Amino acid sequence: MSWWTKKKNEGKAPKASLTTVPQHVAIIMDGNGRWAQKKGMPRTYGHSVGVDRVRDAVEVCLETGVSYLTLYAFSTENWRRPQEEVNVLMRLFQEVMSRETPKLHKNQVRIKIIGLKDDLSPALVRQLEESERITAQNTRLTLNLALNYGGRSEIATAVKKIAQGVQSGTIDINAIDEEMISANIFTAGQAEPDLLIRPGGEWRISNFLVWQMAYTDFYFSELYWPEFGPKEMIKAFEWFAKRERRFGGINKGGQPG
């Protein structure tokens, strides 16, 4: 079944009464391979079912009013996987983007690719840039797809850009500050993630948004990503709504953050 065409209420999470909705949600979609293997299926089956959960995640974000959703789809380290699995994933990205862009556009979703496009195939890059171009003016939800993405390499690239400015005389070295670095990374101009969701049973951030997540709340789940449906997303949002974010300050009762 395709995105946005599911029967009304099928698999939908019950309407949540959320007091605080995260403005930016980041997700590490982990556990596809293990989930499929547990079912006696090839790992790549897990990635296909993972796409259904991507659709669910987008729907929940649209329904609850999240402004930014960032999905870790392929890391700079994922090239180390067997060639066949990498090929399947690349084909999947192209197919999904080609099939779903019109529907995402209809729902006012802006698609943005974060990561180094250079190492991706020209056909995939064409598709990604087409999806970005078509949806560029949409403002309801920004969907950042992290493809060939690494957090440290993102920072290194920003530092290099700024250093070039210093070298050419357009940037004063004393003007370099946190804002300047934020303005030179892929997510420039966006709110930083409020909530990171990581299913798959690992408790680490795996080089994802390492600059942007300084104050992010982390939600970990033992479920695999193919099992992480709308109800689980809402559960994570409810958990987040109960967090009190102090950004290093103190709360009303005088407790440090």
Binding site for ligand FPP (CB under 6 A): 29-34, 47, 50-51, 54, 71, 73-74, 78, 89, 92-93, 96-97, 145, 200
Q: Taking the CA atoms of 16, 21, 23 and 28 in sequence, report the sign of the dihedral they define.
A: negative
Which CB atom, from 198 or from 216, has the smaller least distance to ligand FPP?
Answer: 198
DSSP string, 41-102: S-HHHHHHHHHHHHHHHHHHHHHHT-SEEEEEEEETTGGGS-HHHHHHHHHHHHHHHHHHHH
- Name the catalytic one among 9, 52, 56, 78: 78
d(CA 142, CA 104): 10
In whole angstroms, the minimum distance from the beta carbon of 226 to ligand FPP comes to 8
In whole angstroms, the minimum distance from the beta carbon of 74 to ligand FPP comes to 6
In whole angstroms, the minimum distance from the beta carbon of 89 to ligand FPP comes to 6
CB atoms < 10 A from the CB of 70, how many?
26
In whole angstroms, the minimum distance from the beta carbon of 176 to ligand FPP comes to 34
Q: What are phi and psi of 95, to 5 degrees?
A: -60, -50
Which CB atom, from 30 or from 194, has the smaller least distance to ligand FPP?
Answer: 30
In sequence order, the β-bridge partners of residue 68 are 24, 142
d(CA 222, CA 43): 18
Active site residue 30: yes
DSSP state of 211: T
What 3-state DSSP class applies to 178? helix
Q: Closest residue to ligand FPP, Cβ-based?
A: 50
Which CB atom, from 218 or from 238, has the smaller least distance to ligand FPP?
Answer: 218
Q: What residues act catalytically?
A: 30, 78
